[in-house]
Homo-oligomer: A and B are copies of this chain.
Amino acid sequence: MIRSEIESKFQSLQKDIISSLELVDGSGRFRYDQWQRAEGGGGVSSIIENGRILEKGGVNFSAVYGPLHPGAAKALGVETKEFYACGVSIVLHPKNPMVPIIHMNVRYFETGSTYWFGGGIDLTPHYVVKQDAAFFHQQLKNTCDAFSPHFYSEYKKWADDYFYLPHRNETRGIGGIFFDRLNNENTGLSKERLFEFVLAVGETFAPTYTFLMQKNFEHPYTETHKKWQALRRGRYVEFNLVYDRGTKFGLETGGRTESILMSLPATAAWIYDYTPETSSEEEYTLSMLKKGISWLEKN
């Protein structure tokens, strides 16, 4: 399996996802920005703004290579001097607070004689709805189970630990799956099979999210819901700028800023020491932003 094959499959994935999202959004269109990187490679960022359902987001592809900066090599724990990285990254912020924010990433990394795959999908509902959460996690579990009986539970835990804001003692949302540095050694799967897994994760994205879009985008909402959405978006901004490794790595290594920060919402808000009212929907959602919840369980 060669780089060009991975690139071409990831590019098709980007296109297919964009088609599905445009179809369901119904009015928003993605605009494309092709960019090149001075040190090697480039990408195609595709951004949607002010759609019918999607307020702001991106479905980005990139394939970059060149010298690995010493700081980056140290952070990755590798000693080689060249790298190649290719992937698709998505963040979508919907207009209606009853539609969740979603993030997906699939990536391939190569340096020296080492390679690995990484990625994941996680969901950040402004309002947690158990039925939707169960649907979302079931979709991920189905995809994982086709490859290994261990993947879902392991990568679900990894997502709980990764998408977490220690300074708030909150998870970013209801998690999903997250995995990194997967190779033949630590999974027992061949490189080809791992690539199939990563592609399957990518292909799980569109049907899963467009279902949640369609189910919720006409749900009525109030000013209180919009205000809460803005506060939750504030937390999303905090996670992405303070903790997200991809964002930090990208900004530090001179990545394309506008492509990296497409993950930020159109608007966000902060209120000092805000506490939702007792027994409110907002308080319920906060109580669900914890690690270790078994979303698949009926109760």
Chain A residues in contact with chain B, CB under 8 A? 33, 47, 49, 56, 58, 166-168, 230, 234, 237-238, 241-242, 248, 251, 257-258, 260-262, 264-273
Apart from A167-B251, A238-B241, A268-B268, list 13 A-B contacts with CB within 8 A: A49-B272, A56-B270, A56-B272, A58-B272, A241-B241, A242-B248, A242-B251, A258-B273, A262-B272, A264-B270, A265-B270, A267-B270, A268-B269
Residue numbers in B under 8 Å from A258 (CB-CB): 272-273
Say yes or no: A47-B272 contact (C-beta < 8 A), given A167-B257, A242-B251, A257-B167: yes
Closest chain B residue, CB of each to CB of A267: B269
Indicate whether A268 sits within 8 Å of B267 (C-beta atoms), given known contacts A167-B257, A237-B237: yes
Number of copies of this kind of chain in the complex: 2
Report, nearest first, the 10 A-B pairs whose CB atoms are least far apart: A241-B241, A264-B270, A167-B251, A167-B257, A258-B273, A47-B272, A267-B269, A241-B242, A268-B268, A262-B272
Pick 17 A–B contacts, CB within 8 A, sort by A: A47-B273, A56-B270, A56-B272, A167-B257, A234-B264, A237-B237, A241-B242, A242-B248, A242-B251, A258-B273, A262-B272, A264-B270, A265-B270, A266-B269, A267-B267, A267-B268, A267-B269
Please, which residue of chain B has its CB at the minimum distance from the CB of A260? B167
A167: chain B residues within 8 A (beta carbon): 251, 257, 260
Distance in angstroms between the alpha carbons of A72 and B72 in the assembled complex:
22
* B271, A266: Cβ atoms closer than 8 Å: yes
A245 CB to nearest B CB, Å: 13
A266 / chain B contacts, CB cutoff of 8 Å: 269-271
Question: How near does chain B come to A241, taking the closest CB pair, in angstroms?
Answer: 4
Chain B residues, Cβ within 8 Å of A168: 257
> Taking the nearest CB of chain B, how far is it from the CB of A274, in angstroms?
9
- A265 CB to closest chain B CB (Å) equals 7
A266 to B241, CA, bound (A): 17
The CB with the most chain B CB atoms within 10 A, among A33, A166, A237, A260, is that of A237
| Alpha-carbon distance between A270 and B268 when the two chains are bound, in angstroms | 9
Compute how far the CA of A248 lies from the CA of B271 in the bound complex, rounded to whole angstroms. 20
Question: Residues of B contacting A273 with CB < 8 Å?
Answer: 33, 47, 258
Contact across chains for B241 and A271 when beta carbons are under 8 A apart: no
Q: Give A93's nearest chain B residue, CB to CB.
A: B270
Which residue on chain B has the smallest CB distance to residue A48? B272
Chain B nearest CB, measured from A261 CB (Å): 7
- Most chain B CB atoms below 10 A, which of A167, A230, A257, A266: A167
Q: What residues on B are CB-neighbors of A230 within 8 Å?
A: 267
A261 in complex: contacting residue of B264, B265, B270, CB < 8 Å: B270
Residue of B nearest to A265 (CB): B270
A237 to B265, CA, bound (A): 12
CA distance A153 to B262 in the complex (A): 38
